[in-house]
Structure 1
Amino acid sequence: MNASLRVSDPGTDWRVDDPQGLALRLRLRAVKMVAPHGFGYLGQALSAAEQVAALFAHARPGLDRLVCSPGHYVIAPFAAAVEVGLLDEETASSYGQNGALLEAIGTERSPIVDYTCGSLGQGLSAAIGFVLSDRLRESGARTLAMVSDGELEEGQVWEAVLFAAHHGLSHLTVLVDANDSQVDGPVSSITTIEPIADKWSAFGWHVQDIDGHDVDAVLAALKDATAETERPSVIVCRTSTVHGLDCLPPDADGHFIKLPPELAAAAVAELTSKVESHRA
């Protein structure tokens, strides 16, 4: 395995024939990655599983770029990368350990994604830089950027939104994970950011507002975004940080889920059953 591998590296290759199955396996993989620690950013993988599965099904290997703006979401691309063969089992098992390649919060050395950042709100600016560079080089690449709804509280995001629309960066697609969750509580209780879709539309973007747990809807939205030739596109994905894992207690904190051994075992059993049922 190449420790510096990025999805846009020439020669990188993978294939996703079953995006829904990948979303299920991604959730299971994320549980196994978090379980040894007893807690972690599992909720972000539960929230973004369908989005990340769709991104890996949609992106052109070795060409298109993947930006994960919120660094704690990087568990989802890591998990997907293991499932499509870009990362090995040994590397996955070291997730979050001291000195491990796969850090719990992504950094500049994180593999798979082309860019991720610990400080929230900066990833969209980096994505714009990629798009401008690819435009100048006439590469034809698209940049797909994951952004969280909590990041919309950051002013830098809206400066980037204005800039991208002004320059007509049609090769940029942003997926906003609108799960109404951040470390201090529901996003809506901290800062009113709705109506999200209307705000992006007012800034000049091509906007779609969808069920982020419907992988077919995410794939269709990505296809529509690719067909847009005049404006950047944003897909507002309505999600939950506890989606797809029924064994979690009702009061589970989706932002940073506690996963003691008994609950971890129940989660693995539940998701393994769902994966097997989907394959049947």
Structure 2
Amino acid sequence: MTTEIAPVADAVRRRVLEHTLRNNGGYLSQACSAADILATLYLRVMRLGPSTAPLIPRAFAGVPGRDNPHAFTGADYNGPRAPDLDRFIFSPVHYALVLYALLIELGRLGADALERFNTDGSTVELIGAEHSPGHEVTAGSLGQALSQAGGIALARRLRGESGRVWVFMSDGEFQEGQTWEAFAALAHHRIGNLGVYIDANAQQCDGPMTEVMTIEPLAERLRAFGAEVHEVDGHDGDALAAPALARWDAHPLAPLAVIARTDPCRGIELLRERAPKLHYLRFKTPAEQDAYEDLLEHWQDSAR
């Protein structure tokens, strides 16, 4: 499998742009900011086995419960559960389209999987849930995923498993008290087999985070809560991977937090015309959609 991050990340952005054009809407800025982070996690950081899930996404089988033996999660797209393999917890579930696109690029999900996107009975949901491809838990903006990941990591340590737990988060989740409670608990219990990658694109649904509610200085605050913190260029695969790779053969006693500083318009400069509201793209005029169509056509020609 290739370990080159940039080509995969660019392919994810193209696929999300194509989907956004086809559906007159999509979380495009999240693909711009997060594609390199997610590609680095899958290609360089996480120790995952091959997908054990079908390329054609399964239909929704109902919520988990002892009376529903058919329920499942989307974690099997990340490979089998094994003591020496890692687990991945995807927190900002409105980024689901970006994750689906990456799974397709990596051959873990079928190329036509997005045809089932956000349709009745499909697990390829607009806002991912525990049954969606690549997802293991139901999460969201209140930061519950980090707490769930902490519990999983603690259980793995108690069982003597060598596999780590990795969490992908958005910086907007650090406006929530639940996130800080979770980090306090991780530090108290010395959960060193857990790492968090943060897409710090400085944007949220209501505009720039500095205007809505700042979370800075994020690195200093996380260190004060007991985390080992690294700030990196979120579009540099080597820089993204380095903090995690340094811990593979170590036995740390603190959670890892990698703050990936990213550009929400990376690779799609046309998006800057939408600033400062970048959270969700829906075309306002036919002329605007034509401009994005031209961009995609040019991008595809250059890729050939």
TM beyond 0.5: yes
Which blocks of at least 5 consecutive residues in structure 1 are unaligned? 1-14
Normalised by the size of structure 2, how large is the TM-score?
Answer: 0.80
1:88 to 86, 96, 110: 110
Partner of 2:99: 77
Instruction: Provide the alpha-carbon RMSD of the alignment.
Output: 1.9
1:30 pairs with 2:16: yes
Equivalent runs, 1:181-192 vs 2, <5 Å: 181-192=203-214
Given the superposition, is the C-alpha separation of residues 32 and 98 from structure 1 closer, same or farther in structure 2, using an over 3 Å criterion?
farther
1:120 to 142, 146, 156: 142
Q: Deviations over 1:139-192 (max 9, x none)?
A: 211111111111111111000000101111111110111111111111111112
Percent identity of paired positions between Structure 1 and Structure 2: 36
Partner of 2:68: none
Take 2:246 and 2:297, find their aligned partners in 1: how far apart are those partners? 37
Normalised by the size of structure 1, how large is the TM-score?
Answer: 0.87
1:215 to 222, 232, 237: 237
Take 2:298 and 2:138, find their aligned partners in 1: how far apart are those partners? 31
Partner of 1:59: 46
Given the superposition, is the C-alpha separation of residues 270 and 204 from structure 1 closer, same or farther in structure 2, using an over 3 Å criterion?
farther
2:264 to 213, 237, 241: 241
Take 1:197 and 1:125, find their aligned partners in 2: how far apart are those partners? 20
Q: How many pairs were matched up?
A: 262
Partner of 1:3: none
1:242 CA drift (Å):
1.3
Deviates more, 1:206-215 or 1:34-43: 34-43
Partner of 1:8: none
Which blocks of at least 5 consecutive residues in structure 2 are unaligned? 50-84
SS in 1 for 2:91: strand
**Contact 1:40/1:258 (<8 A) preserved:** yes
Partner of 2:180: 158
1:121 CA drift (Å):
1.6
2:280 to 245, 252, 256: 256
AA aligned opposite 1:181: Q
1:266 to 294, 298, 301: 294
